[in-house]
Amino acid sequence: MERLLLDLSVNVTAMFRDPPFFAAFRRKVVPILRAHPFVRIWCAGCSTGEEVYSLAILLHEEGLLERSRIYATDINAYAIEAAEAGVVPLARMQEYTQNYLRSGGAGEFSRYYVAAYDAARFNRELLGNVVFSQHNLATDRAFAEFHAIVCRNVLIYFDTPLQHRVTELFSDSLLPFGVLALGRRESIAFTPAAGRFAPLAGDQRIFRKAA
């Protein structure tokens, strides 16, 4: 069943996918996170983990990773296993390096991974504050309170009732003034939770919850 789910699930992802989003996250979200002594971030629908590693690198460069906890969840157990392994084809690293630089990366991207043969493995230090777990957005409940939730390019595959359920789940899971980040083709505009959020970086689909 898990293998069938893997085939049916959409697992398209990349490191620093949509670089302008990560640049906006640095500018708009990081200053908000700095105000907290400890930060909890939920990366929902994390797929094979490229976005999790991107967030970990960004937080590391902003001096926040050591006082952050990233909860990375996906419905698919095989995707979670791949994310925990942190191994990607070496051929993708040129694209990922360009994405990293365009997103405002502050150093050499190659310092975050080790290359061997035709694969690259990300440094295990990036996962020191990451918790991987299965979670079904369609049926499971909130499991913590977060300062930020990142769920990009997941809602576009849900029908309207399920989109409404998930945005309610995210609203319930965020602390007051918490940040919600969606994909560039996603919005909360026509959901029941819309009135509880205001644009923080509207062009990049980053919203902030009201008190």
pLDDT in tens, the chain (211 residues): 556 555 555 555 789 999 999 999 999 999 999 999 999 999 999 999 999 999 999 999 999 999 999 999 999 999 999 999 999 999 999 999 999 999 999 889 999 999 988 999 999 999 999 999 999 999 999 999 999 999 999 999 999 999 999 999 999 999 999 999 999 999 999 999 999 999 999 899 999 999 7
pLDDT at residue number 38: 98
| Residues 73/47, Cβ–Cβ less than 8 Å | no
pLDDT at residue number 162: 96
pLDDT at residue number 106: 84
Q: What angle do CA 143, 148, 152 make, to 5 degrees?
A: 95
State how far Cα 155 lies from the chain centre: 13
Pull the structure tokens for residue 3.
């293998």
CA distances from 129 to 18, 71, 83, 200 (A): 24, 9, 14, 26
Q: Give, as one character, the DSSP assignment of residue 64.
A: -
CA atoms lying within 13 Å on the CB side of residue 192: 13
Spatial distance between the Cα atoms of 55 and 65, rounded to a whole number of angstroms: 9
pLDDT at residue number 33: 98
* Contact partners, residue 12, CB within 8 Å, separation at least 6: 47, 153
Spans of all domains in the chain: 13-57+68-86+137-209
pLDDT at residue number 4: 59
Q: What fold characterizes domain 13-57+68-86+137-209? A: Rossmann fold (3.40.50)
pLDDT at residue number 5: 52
